[in-house]
C-alpha cells in the first residue's frame, strides 16, 4: 500500500487530496452461475432474474463473480445500481435503477412497503414482493401471518447476524400454501417489511425453516456453532430454495402499475406452472 507513492502504514490517517494505492495478489473466485435473464428493460430501470448462487455485490472473495460486475460489463452504465438486495442463495426478480428518477422513486416505493405491522392495508404506491419457498411437511393452515421481530444477535466470527429477537424491529410476512406433499410444502410468502433474511427467519421462527437452510434453525435463531466443526455457516451460504417470484410496483416515470414475474425453478414449481423452456 502506498500513499502519494510512498509506502504507507495500515494505521496511517489519510489527508484530503492524498492518493491511496494498493496491489492485491490475484485469487481464484469461486465458480457461480453468471448467466441471467432480463425480465423488463427501459430507459429508467431493469428487472433481472438473478440465479441462485450469484452474489449481488462484491465481498467475501467475490469481485467479478457478482451480478453488479456482470451487469456493468453488459451495459457499461456508471449509474446502474441495485434498488434492493437478494441473498446469494435466493433467486428471482431484482430491480436495478438506470436513472436518478428511478433510483429515487423505486426506493421510495420500497420504503412505503414497510409500514406498521398492525395496518390492514398497504399505503398507496407501495412495492410488493411475493416469494416462493420450500419447507418441510406439516399441519399448517392454508394461510397465516408471521410478525416475529427481527434484529441482530451475537454470532461467532461475524459479530452479529439477524435473527428472531424480541427486541428486534417489527416485521410482517403473510404465507399461503401452494401445494402439500409427503416430503415438502410449497409456499407463497408476501413480505410487508424488508428486514434482512426476513422469510428465512420468519419461517424458522414458526418452526418450519426453509429446507436445507444451513443457518436458521426452528425458532428463528442460528444453529448452535461448534468450534470444532470447521467453517461457521454464514448468511451467504446456499442450499435452501427461496425465489423472488412476483414483484408489483408502479413505473417510476409513468406511475402505471406493473407486475414482473420470474418463473420459479423446477423444485419451486406447482404442477400447473412451467418454465419458458418447458
Identify the residue whose cell numbers are 428486534.
168
Neighbour tally for 232: CB within 10 Å:
16
pLDDT tens-digit profile, the chain (278 residues): 788 888 888 788 888 988 888 776 667 888 899 999 999 999 999 999 999 999 999 988 888 899 999 999 999 888 899 999 999 999 999 999 999 999 999 999 988 877 644 454 556 678 999 999 999 999 999 999 999 999 999 998 899 999 999 999 999 999 999 999 999 999 999 999 989 999 999 999 999 999 999 999 999 999 998 766 667 899 999 999 999 999 999 999 999 999 999 999 999 998 766 544 44
HSE (side-chain half, CA atoms, 13 Å) at 224: 2
pLDDT in tens, 176-211: 999 999 999 999 999 999 899 999 999 999 999 999
CA separation for the pair 119, 97 (Å, rounded)? 29
**Cβ-contact 1, 20 below 8 angstroms:** yes
CA separation for the pair 125, 195 (Å, rounded)? 20
CA separation for the pair 69, 75 (Å, rounded)? 10
Q: What is the model's pLDDT at position 117?
A: 46
C-alpha cell at 105: 422513486
Determine the 3-state secondary structure of 112 from DSSP.
helix
Q: What is the model's pLDDT at position 270?
A: 85
**Cβ-contact 191, 199 below 8 angstroms:** yes
Q: How far apart are the first and last CA of the chain?
A: 53
Which neighbouring-strand residues pair with 45?
A: 97
Burial of 48 (0-12, 13-18, 19+ CB in 10 A): buried
Q: What is the model's pLDDT at position 121?
A: 55
Q: For residue 37, which of 261, 270, 268 has the smallest C-alpha distance? A: 261
CA separation for the pair 146, 44 (Å, rounded)? 34
The reply to whether the predicted model has a pTM over 0.75 is yes
Q: What is the model's pLDDT at position 22?
A: 74
Query: HEC string of 192-256?
Result: CCCCCCHHHHHHHHCCCCECCCCCECCCCCECCCCHHHCCCCCCCCCCCCEEEEEEEEECCCCCC
Determine the 3-state secondary structure of 111 from DSSP.
helix
Neighbour tally for 252: CB within 10 Å:
23
Amino acid at each position: 500500500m502506498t500513499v502519494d507513492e510512498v509506502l504507507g502504514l495500515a494505521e496511517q490517517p489519510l489527508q484530503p487530496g492524498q492518493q491511496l494505492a494498493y496491489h492485491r495478489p490475484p485469487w481464484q473466485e469461486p465458480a457461480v452461475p453468471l448467466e441471467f435473464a432480463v425480465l423488463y428493460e427501459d430507459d429508467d430501470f431493469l428487472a433481472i432474474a438473478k440465479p441462485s448462487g450469484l452474489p449481488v455485490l462484491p465481498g467475501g472473495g467475490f469481485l467479478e463473480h457478482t451480478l453488479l460486475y456482470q451487469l456493468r460489463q453488459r451495459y457499461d452504465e456508471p449509474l446502474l445500481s441495485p434498488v434492493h438486495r437478494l441473498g446469494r442463495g435466493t433467486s428471482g426478480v431484482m430491480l436495478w435503477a438506470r436513472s436518478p428518477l428511478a433510483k429515487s422513486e423505486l426506493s421510495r416505493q420500497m420504503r412505503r412497503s414497510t409500514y406498521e405491522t398492525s395496518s390492514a392495508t398497504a399505503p398507496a404506491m407501495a412495492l410488493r414482493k411475493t416469494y416462493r419457498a420450500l419447507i418441510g411437511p406439516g399441519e399448517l393452515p392454508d394461510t397465516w401471518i408471521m410478525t416475529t421481530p427481527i434484529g441482530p444477535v451475537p454470532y461467532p466470527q461475524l459479530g452479529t447476524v439477524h435473527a428472531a429477537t424480541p427486541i428486534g424491529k417489527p416485521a410482517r410476512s403473510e404465507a399461503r400454501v401452494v401445494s402439500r406433499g409427503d416430503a415438502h410444502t410449497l409456499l407463497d410468502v408476501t413480505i410487508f417489511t424488508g428486514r434482512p433474511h426476513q422469510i428465512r427467519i420468519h419461517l424458522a421462527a414458526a418452526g418450519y425453516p426453509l429446507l436445507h437452510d444451513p443457518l436458521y434453525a426452528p425458532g428463528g435463531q442460528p444453529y448452535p456453532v461448534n468450534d470444532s466443526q470447521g467453517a461457521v455457516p454464514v448468511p451467504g451460504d446456499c442450499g435452501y430454495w427461496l425465489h423472488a417470484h412476483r414483484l408489483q410496483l408502479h413505473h417510476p416515470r409513468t406511475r402505471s402499475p406493473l407486475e414482473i414475474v420470474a418463473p420459479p425453478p423446477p423444485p419451486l414449481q406447482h404442477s400447473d406452472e412451467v418454465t419458458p423452456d418447458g
